[in-house]
A and B are shown apart, each in its own frame.
Chain A
Amino acid sequence: MVAAQQTGLILSNTETVPGRRIVEFYGVVTGNTVRAKHVGRDIMAGLKNIVGGELKGYTELLHDSREEATARMVEQARSMGANAVVNVRYATSSVAQGAAELFAYGTAVRVE
């Protein structure tokens, strides 16, 4: 489960929360995080790069980063008084060498 949902706020990547009616819109909410990988992980990944396959260290790193971006977005939505974020989108952009920005955005709403 996306950890941010454990607080009770509903996330959805459809335009509505299935089975509920939207009663109020609060606008776009965003959350981001910029991360760089650390040397230890890089060395392990470098070794793994020879035989191919999954780079678990990076999978975890990106997963954790995305959770944090989502948590920030949820925090913003909550401060507006929303109880759900609909139409959530994820995007990644490469900012500098060895660093990546992960961000999440969506529309904060209040559902019944």
Chain B
Amino acid sequence: MFEIVATLVLLMVTFFIGNWLEKRHYADIREREHRLREFPVVTFKTIPATWRVESSQLAQGSVVVSVDYFKRFVAGLRGILGGRIKTYEPLLDRARREALLRMIEAAKSDGCDAVINVRLETSRLASSRQGGKGTAGVEILAYGTGLRLAQ
């Protein structure tokens, strides 16, 4: 009985905290994306003919994220029923956008004017519990070549 109550309380609490943290993070991401909207970031490597490149460097940003207890519980149910796991989608979306933002911010603070050939890598961190089957988190790495342009 106690275990069921404890699980329910944990589900309730993490549902609210998780959602609140997610909302706050999304607001932060949107604000930063809006601020950086004029900074050119592209996934191809062609440089416009009018740009004169002064120097370049590798730029990267990464983040490790995990889901809350409630979302993992829902995903567990989905694992039985099958179908789209909606609770995991915003997590990975947030992580990718966060990693990209970190890469852009790092490039910008190094004096770069653009980042080209951006690549995104995803890797899973296996948990040391549950014999490595569980997921401790997901890492997203964004990297590209930052360019400093001659004015």
Chain A residues in the interface with B (C-beta under 8 A): 1-2, 5, 10-15, 17-19, 37, 42, 45, 48-56, 58-59, 62-63, 66, 88-92, 94, 97-98, 100
20 new A-B contacts, CB < 8 A, other than A19-B53, A94-B123, are A1-B110, A13-B58, A14-B117, A42-B128, A48-B66, A49-B66, A52-B14, A52-B17, A52-B22, A53-B25, A55-B66, A58-B125, A58-B139, A59-B63, A66-B60, A90-B121, A94-B124, A97-B128, A98-B126, A98-B132
Q: How many B residues have CB within 8 A of the partner chain?
A: 51
Chain B residues with Cβ under 8 A from A5's Cβ?
Answer: 57-58
Picked from B71, B91, B145, the residue with its CB within 8 Å of the CB of A18 is: B145
Q: Is B83 an interface residue (CB 8 A)?
A: no
Residues on the B chain within 8 Å of A12, using CB: 56-58, 145
User: Is B58's CB under 8 angstroms from A51's CB?
Assistant: no
The answer to the question of B10 belonging to the interface, with a C-beta cut-off of 8 Å to chain A, is yes
B139 touches A51 (CB 8 A): no
Contact of B117 among A13, A50, A100 (CB under 8 A): A13
CB within 8 A of A53: which of B10, B21, B52, B128?
A: B21
